Amino acid sequence: MTEPPREPAPPASAPASGRFLLVACQPGSEDAVFLSQEHFLPDATRAAWRRGVVTFRLPFGTDFPADGLPFARTVVDSLGQVTGNTPAELAAAAVDRVAAAVTCVHVWQRLPVQRREPQTSDASEALPSAAEVHQAIVERLDLDNTPTGSESVAGRVANDGEKVLDLVIDSPGRAWLGWHVARTPASRWPGGIYPNTLPEDAVSRAWLKLDEALAAFEVPIRSGQRAVELGASPGGASQRLLSLGLHVVGIDPAEIDPRVADHPRFEHWKMRARDVRLRQLRDFEWLVTDMNIDPASTMDALERVATAGGRTLKGIIATLKLPQWKRAADLPGWLGRFETWGFRPHARQLSCGGREVCVVARRGS
């Protein structure tokens, strides 16, 4: 086994000049963030990084597009690091540094406690709880201090246009500070982490993934529309679509959970995607896919259906599984293919997803 690369030490304080972006990402996906930055934000240069957090320096005057980095959970303007041994000390240090008036506070642990790196120093030192630090900051700022959040992530969903103070708890006694203006759905969620939870009766986690995709991309799905899903077993995503009033065809050689299979608006075509006759796929508004195969094969399956699907097809919601994070380098090419089929693609690595990227593409140029 090869040793993981050593993380360079983070800067101790805010830069004297220039703009630094702090990007929160799924721990382990940093290479994907770097690869996509080379394509989507070529003017940026890499600064410090740690698992779950990457920073970039941007030249003055460079605009940062709202959905500019597909592997970022959230992107904020970095103000460097703050230190403090208690939630109250961290809160004091953070509030002292933030000049702009903020009305909302998001706090999250860089590595949620259960996935934390082995401690090299004092293993008994615990990370401060996000909820406690959040509480201390909102009290100092005299904001609504209704308790909200958990050990690992805290804060309310920001309103559109609201200025947010961001604090990423890095290690015991140290945190990264930043701020952003909430503009996109995901930028309103603390840490860009989807705040909904999986319902108890959901047949798989794909229920929540699809729910997050619909929210993050504001997909205009309507009751009564028809969807086809390639790779539907056991049925969580189809179950979410059914709950929204859609008619759903699930294509998968594997079994569908009876709670979905028996639904009056659901049909199971028990076959592989390539065995479906294209003329059977003419009347659908939405094409959904979540197949556990190489993303190049998923793209071929999508192309076959999307280019033959007829004019009723309004959009595609695709999960592209990445066998390794380095396949993120292929993303620009995949997005280009959606465009050649007549769809406008946007990509995001969902906070509920694993090593994969979600592409939502709506018809139109």
Q: Among residues 274 and 326, whose Cβ is nearest to ligand SAM?
A: 274
Q: Which residue has the tokens 């994070």?
A: 325
In whole angstroms, the minimum distance from the beta carbon of 167 to ligand SAM comes to: 34
In whole angstroms, the minimum distance from the beta carbon of 353 to ligand SAM comes to: 10
Distance, CA of 127 to chain centre: 24
CA distance 187 to 198: 21
Q: Among residues 182 and 213, whose Cβ is nearest to ligand SAM?
A: 213
Q: Which residue has the tokens 């979540």?
A: 290
In whole angstroms, the minimum distance from the beta carbon of 269 to ligand SAM comes to: 9
Q: Among residues 153 and 251, whose Cβ is nearest to ligand SAM?
A: 251
Spatial CA neighbour of 350 closest among 95, 29, 82: 29
CA distance 349 to 52: 13
In whole angstroms, the minimum distance from the beta carbon of 52 to ligand SAM comes to: 24
In whole angstroms, the minimum distance from the beta carbon of 298 to ligand SAM comes to: 9
In whole angstroms, the minimum distance from the beta carbon of 267 to ligand SAM comes to: 14
Beta carbons of 103 and 156 less than 8 angstroms apart: no
Strand partners, 50: 53
Spatial CA neighbour of 169 closest among 68, 93, 71: 93
Beta carbons of 209 and 358 less than 8 angstroms apart: yes
CA distance 354 to 365: 30
Q: Among residues 193 and 318, whose Cβ is nearest to ligand SAM?
A: 318
Q: Among residues 124 and 292, whose Cβ is nearest to ligand SAM?
A: 292
Q: Among residues 126 and 254, whose Cβ is nearest to ligand SAM?
A: 254
For residue 122, CA distances in Å to 115, 117, 118, 171, 308 come to 17, 13, 10, 11, 60
332: left (phi over 0), alpha (psi -120 to 50) or beta: alpha
In whole angstroms, the minimum distance from the beta carbon of 296 to ligand SAM comes to: 13
In whole angstroms, the minimum distance from the beta carbon of 256 to ligand SAM comes to: 9
Q: Among residues 192 and 235, whose Cβ is nearest to ligand SAM?
A: 235
In whole angstroms, the minimum distance from the beta carbon of 297 to ligand SAM comes to: 7
Residue 226 burial (CB count, 10 A): 15
**Backbone phi, then psi, for 239, in 5-degree steps?**
-60, -40
Q: Among residues 76 and 227, whose Cβ is nearest to ligand SAM?
A: 227
Helix (H) or strand (E) holding 40: helix 30-40
Question: 247-251 and 266-269 as β-strands: parallel, antiparallel, unpaired?
Answer: parallel
In whole angstroms, the minimum distance from the beta carbon of 206 to ligand SAM comes to: 3
Q: Among residues 19 and 205, whose Cβ is nearest to ligand SAM?
A: 205
Q: Among residues 39 and 265, whose Cβ is nearest to ligand SAM?
A: 265
Q: Which long-range contacts (CB under 8 A, 24 or more apart) does 341-347 make?
A: 341/303, 341/306, 341/307, 343/306, 343/315, 343/316, 346/67, 346/217, 347/67, 347/70
Contact set with ligand SAM (CB under 6 A): 204, 206, 230-237, 251-254, 272-273, 290-293
Amino acid symbol at 91 = A
